[in-house]
Amino acid sequence: MSLVSKEKIAPATWKVTAHVGAEEFCAELEKVFARELPKITLPGFRKGKAPRSMVVRRYGENLFFEDALEAALPAAIDAALKEAELDPLYRAENLEAQEITRESGAEFNFTIAVKPEITIGAYKGLEIAVPSEDVAEEDINARIDELRGRNARQVEVEGRAAQNGDIAVIDFKGLLDGVAFPGGTAENHELKLGSGQFIPGFEEQVVGHNPGDAFEVNVTFPEEYQAEELAGQPVVFEVKLHELKAEELPALDDDFAQEVGEDYNTVEDLKQGIADELAENKRSAATKALEQGTQEQLAALAEGEIPQAMLDRRTQRNIEIFAERIQIPVERYCELMGEDMESFTARIAAQSEAQIKTELALEAIAKNEEIEASEEEIEAEYQRLADEYKVALTRVKFSVPAEEITKDVQREKAMNLVLEAAVKTNIAE
């Protein structure tokens, strides 16, 4: 067995031509004959009793050549790759026999994707924009206002006309060219004025009217309105205003604080609880932004060619993960979102490429920094996976090679190194 030639045909992808010697090929051929002859029947002979010479005469000299080559391929491919000094990512593809004879053996071609060589630019001191972790007094007050709004009660408004913020109880009937249209009629509908729930211009024409008023509202449906028969059409709504209500906010006192949560006895307790919650949310957002920004910059710093096979496999896997998460076929998702499969796949492929480059960049950093994974760290990662997926530790160890876990640990340690050296700059929220 020997390497005949190797040729780089695409990024990190090689075409290899290899040779199986006559001795090795004929040895495999003899094994195939020994296995297959007992299964062959020729006229005049019992099954498996026909002489080999007659079987060859009947079916041809090259009978079982392909079987013999197939049996010889694993060792031949491994030997050729070792001689070519190529470290494959996946199994050989596009296998093609060129010439097979007893006298010369077999020559064949195959393609192989190899791990790309990545160089990484300066990765210490990366400037990453993150949101501020500071909690302002107005943030706390805004959350309190939100809580009061959720607990507001409605009270009837008397002695004045409708204004923004009121809840108007109305009947309405929509007319297009004098004819009522589907979905344009309701009774005792509660509409919060100024909320923008209705067609632009509708709520503004309710403002100023008093309970008991009957009036018309003239509006034009937006051009992009979903019902095509109404899009861009001027219509008239006949409106009857029955009642006005207003939201009355609860007092900001200790009683309110106790209603919001059992952990709060006073307004100060409530404010402190909200401040702690907002601080945790902001820390989480800043951490996420720091990690995401770092990953993006590392992907941009990674220079090297990604083999198409590597990108295709990651893209397909990411699509499968996406489909599992949304619980509907990807084709149906694209239909609902108005996106074609080609653009969807291209978008996932771009994300996959960034993922691959980030991982390769981290591996390059781990190599540069001589980062190792200890036995304790590897064991801890195995245990984490077992806990996360709620399976036995032995099962995880059987399913996931130690080499893969080692790389995961090294990449994580490399990422921590980069994160610790990163320079955070605040961005406006």
Q: Does domain 280-427 have CATH number 1.10.3120.10?
A: yes
More confident position, 248 or 55: 248
Domains 153-248 and 280-427 share a fold: no
The ranges assigned to domains in the chain are 2-115, 153-248, 280-427
More confident position, 7 or 51: 7
The pLDDT score that the predictor gives to residue 114 is 93
φ, ψ at 369 (rounded to 5°) = -90, 0
The pLDDT score that the predictor gives to residue 63 is 83
pLDDT at 55 over 90: no
The pLDDT score that the predictor gives to residue 40 is 83
* Count of CB atoms situated within 10 Å of the CB of 360: 23
pLDDT at 210 over 90: yes
Mean pLDDT value across residues 245-259: 92
pLDDT grade, residue 36 (50/70/90)? confident
pTM of full prediction above 0.85: no
Angstrom CA distances, 95 to 17, 110, 210, 306, 407, stand at: 10, 4, 84, 22, 30
Give percent above pLDDT 70 in the chain: 99
CA angle at 402 for the pair 398 and 405, rounded to the nearest 5°:
110
Q: Which CATH number fits domain 2-115: 2.120.10.30, 2.40.110.10, 2.40.40.20, 3.30.70.1050?
A: 3.30.70.1050
With b for 16 or more beta-carbon neighbours within 10 A and e for fewer, the 126-163 pattern comes to: bebebbebebeeebbeebbeebbeeeeeeeebeeeebe
CATH node for 153-248: 3.10.50.40
Rounded to an integer, what distance in angstroms lies between the CA atom of residue 205 and that of residue 201?
Answer: 7
Digit-coded pLDDT (tens) for 369-426 = 999 999 999 999 999 999 999 999 999 999 999 999 999 999 999 999 999 999 998 7
pLDDT grade, residue 429 (50/70/90)? low
Digit-coded pLDDT (tens) for 312-340 = 999 999 999 999 999 999 999 999 898 99
Mean pLDDT value across residues 237-255: 94
Strand partners, 153: 248
pLDDT at 428 over 60: no
pLDDT at 32 over 90: no
pLDDT grade, residue 212 (50/70/90)? very high
Digit-coded pLDDT (tens) for 72-122 = 999 999 999 999 999 899 999 999 998 888 888 999 999 999 989 889 989
pLDDT grade, residue 1 (50/70/90)? low
More confident position, 60 or 18: 18
